[in-house]
Amino acid sequence: MYQALYRKWRPRTFDDVVGQEHVSQTLKHQVSSGRLSHAYLFVGTRGTGKTSCAKILAKAVNCRSPRDGNPCNECSSCVGIDNGSILDVLELDAASNNGVDNVRALREEAVFTPVDVKKRVYIIDEVHMLSTAAFNALLKILEEPPAHLIFILATTELHKVPATILSRCQRHMFKRILPGDIAKRLSDIAGRENIDLTGEASELLSRLADGSLRDALSLLDQCASENTVDLNRVLSAIGLAGGEITALLSAVTDGDVPEALTRLDALYADGKVMTSVLEELLSLVRDTLVTALMPKGGLGLISGGFDDSTLHDFAARLSEERLLYMMELLRQALMDISRGSAGKLTAEICLIRLAGFSAPSNSAVEPAPPRTMKKSEAAALAPEAVNVPAVPAEKKATPPTEAAEIPNITETPPVENVPDTQPAAKPPAPPQKDDFWASVLAHIQPNIDLPFYTFLSDAANTSAVLEGDILTVKLKSAFHAKILDVPPVTEALKQAARQLLGRPAAVKIVQDAGGPAETSDKIDALRRYSNIKFE
C-alpha cells in the first residue's frame, strides 16, 4: 500500500529534524542528562516538526538503549511506540477531543504507572482547541503531576492558550523552515524515491511551501505522477499561472491595457479562477515590494513562487508608491469578488486601474500615458494668469467662454467671475429626457473606465432623469448600482452635468424599483379580488 511521502519520510530521530536545531539540540541534551520537564509546549506554524519532535521525545525517554539523546528505533519500546501497540504513549487531537469529559478521563487514567515503558507520555495536538472547562481540568494535573507522567502540548496559536497553562510548561518555539533547507531535503528524498527533480522545481516547491516541510513533500507527491518533475510540471500540477502572471504584471507596468486584458482573458479561457489569478498577482507585487525595500535582507520574507531575478527586475521598474497602490487595488478587488462581484469584470477593472496609474515624478518607472491633463487644473481657475502647456491633439484656440470645457480635464472647478466681455445669457436648460442623458454619456466617455461606460450606456438596463439640479441614474440591478456608485463615476457625471447645465448638479445612482406601468399592472391584478377595495 502506497504511503504519502510526508508520512514515509517523517523524522525518526532529532538529527533528522530539518531547520529546528535550537529545539532538537536542547531536547537531546535533556534526554542525555535526564533533566526532563513534566510538561512541554511546542509552538509553531504547520509542518515545522512539532508533532514529529513530540513523538521522537516520547521514544527517547522510553528507549532501552538511547544514542546521544536519540532513540535507537530498534528496541521493543521504540518499535511499539511507532506502531501504536504501546498504550502508555497516547496522541490526542484536541480539535475532536476538546470537552471537559475527555480531559477528565485522561486525568483519571494518567495516575496509573505505565506497564510497558518507563514514562507515560500524552501528546495533545492543537491544544488551543480545548474548551475553558477542559483547560481547567488539565491544569489540575499539570500542577501536581505524577513522576512517571510527561505532557507534550502542541499548538499553532499560542495566544489562545491560557496563561495558567503556559506558566507550567517548558516552551519551545519552532521556526518556519528556510527555502534552502527545504529544497535540500526535497532533493535528498527525491533521489531516494527515484524521482528526477530539477533544481528549478525544487526551489519553486520550497518557496510555495511557505516554511512547511510537510507541505513541500505533499506538493512533491502531487507532482510526482511523472518520473521527471521540472518547473513546467510543478506549475501544471498545482494550477499556477507562473510566467503568465509575470507577463501580466509586465503589461500593467508598461501601461499596456490591451495586452493586460488579453492575457487575463487567456487565463480565464484556460480555466483559471480569477481570485487565484489576482492572489498570485498580489503575491508577486508584495514580494517585489519586499525586494525593493530590503534588497539584501528580505529573503526570509519572500512568500511566493517567483525567482530573485524577476523580483529585482520589477523592483527596478516600479516605485514603492506604485507597488503600495497596486497592493491596495488588488486587495480591494479580492474583497469585492468575495462579496459576490463578477470575478472577470472586477479583475478587468482592477487591471485597467493598475495600468493607468500616474506615477510620481521621482518614480523609477515612466508612468503610463494618462488620459487626463492634470496640470490644466490651474488654468481652469485663472486661464489668463497661467501659461497652459500646449496639447498636441488640440490645435485650435479655445474661446474664453469654453475655458471650463478644456478637453481631458478630470476635475475642473467652477468658473467664477466671468469677464464682462462674455455674453450674459445662460445656455438654455437642457431637456430632461434621453437627449440630455446621451449628451452626458458623450461627455464622460473619455474620462471613465470602459467597463463603467459600458454599464451606463446600456439602455436596456440603465436610464436617467434630470429633476431640477439632480441627475438620477437608475439601474435595474442593485448589484450594478453598487458597482457604479463610486467616486470615479459620480464625479465624472457631476462634471458632465455641470458643463451641460451651466451650474453645479448633484448625482444619485439608485436601483430602479419599477416604473408606473409596472405598478399599474400590479394594481390591476389586485382588482380581480372582491375582498380588496381601493379608495
pLDDT in tens, 123-171: 999 999 998 988 988 888 888 888 899 999 999 999 999 999 999 999 9
Which of 149, 172, 219, 161 is CA-nearest to residue 50?
172
Question: Helix or strand or coil: residue 478?
Answer: helix
Is there a contact between 187 and 21 (Cβ–Cβ < 8 Å)? no
Predicted pLDDT of residue 533: 57
Q: For residue 375, is it left (φ>0), alpha (ψ between -120 and 50) or beta?
A: alpha
Question: Helix or strand or coil: residue 235?
Answer: helix
Is there a contact between 426 and 401 (Cβ–Cβ < 8 Å)? no
Predicted pLDDT of residue 425: 46
Is there a contact between 208 and 238 (Cβ–Cβ < 8 Å)? yes
Mean pLDDT of 501-511: 87
At residue 170, φ and ψ (nearest 5 deg) are: -90, 115
Residue 514 carries which side chain, given as an amino acid letter? G
DSSP structure string for 357-388: ----TT-SSPPP--SS-GGGHHHHH-TTTS-P
Tell me the H-state helices in 121-269: 132-143, 163-166, 179-192, 199-208, 213-223, 231-238, 243-253, 257-269
Question: What is the layout of strands, in order, in the sheet containing 470-475?
Answer: 462-467, 470-475, 506-511
Question: Residue 363: is its pLDDT beyond 50?
Answer: no
Mean pLDDT of 236-264: 84
Predicted pLDDT of residue 113: 86
Buried b or exposed e, range 260-293, using 16+ CB within 10 angstroms = bbebbeebbeeebebeebbebbbbbbbbbbbbbe
Question: Residue 361: is its pLDDT beyond 80?
Answer: no
Predicted pLDDT of residue 405: 43
Residues 6+ apart with CB under 8 A from 80: 86, 116, 117
Distance (Å, rounded) from C-alpha 107 to C-alpha 125?
16
At residue 267, φ and ψ (nearest 5 deg) are: -65, -40
Kindly report, residue by residue over 284-338, the tens digit of the pLDDT. Answer: 898 888 888 887 666 656 665 677 788 888 888 888 888 999 999 999 999 988 8
Q: Which three cell numbers stand for residue 251?
A: 503589461
Kindly report, residue by residue over 40-59, the tens digit of the pLDDT. Answer: 999 999 999 999 999 999 99
- Looking only at the bridges linking them, the beta strands covering 196-197 and 89-93 are unpaired
Per-residue confidence band for 180, with pLDDT thresholds at 50, 70 and 90 = confident
Distance (Å, rounded) from C-alpha 406 to C-alpha 176?
58
Q: In the chain, how long is the greatest CA-to-CA distance?
A: 108
Residues 6+ apart with CB under 8 A from 428: none
Q: What percent of the chain has pLDDT over 70?
A: 79
Question: Residue 467: is its pLDDT beyond 60?
Answer: yes
Predicted pLDDT of residue 24: 92
- Grid coordinates 450594478 are at which residue? 480
Is there a contact between 250 and 320 (Cβ–Cβ < 8 Å)? no
Element (H, E) at 122: strand 120-125
Residues 6+ apart with CB under 8 A from 379: 386, 388, 403, 406
Distance (Å, rounded) from C-alpha 311 to C-alpha 308?
5
- The CB density around residue 169, as the number of other CB atoms within 10 Å, is 20
Predicted pLDDT of residue 524: 55
Kindly report, residue by residue over 182-217, the tens digit of the pLDDT. Answer: 999 999 998 888 888 888 888 888 878 888 899 999
From first CA to last CA, the distance across the chain in angstroms is: 81
Per-residue confidence band for 529, with pLDDT thresholds at 50, 70 and 90 = low
Question: Residue 516: is its pLDDT beyond 90?
Answer: no
Tell me the H-state helices in 254-361: 257-269, 274-293, 308-317, 320-338, 343-355
Is there a contact between 472 and 419 (Cβ–Cβ < 8 Å)? no
Distance (Å, rounded) from C-alpha 461 to C-alpha 466?
17
Predicted pLDDT of residue 375: 40
Which of 152, 88, 89, 76 is CA-nearest to residue 114?
88
Predicted pLDDT of residue 528: 54
Mean pLDDT of 477-484: 79
Return the ∠ at Cα 515 (arms to 511 and 521), rounded to 5°.
130
- Grid coordinates 521621482 are at which residue? 362
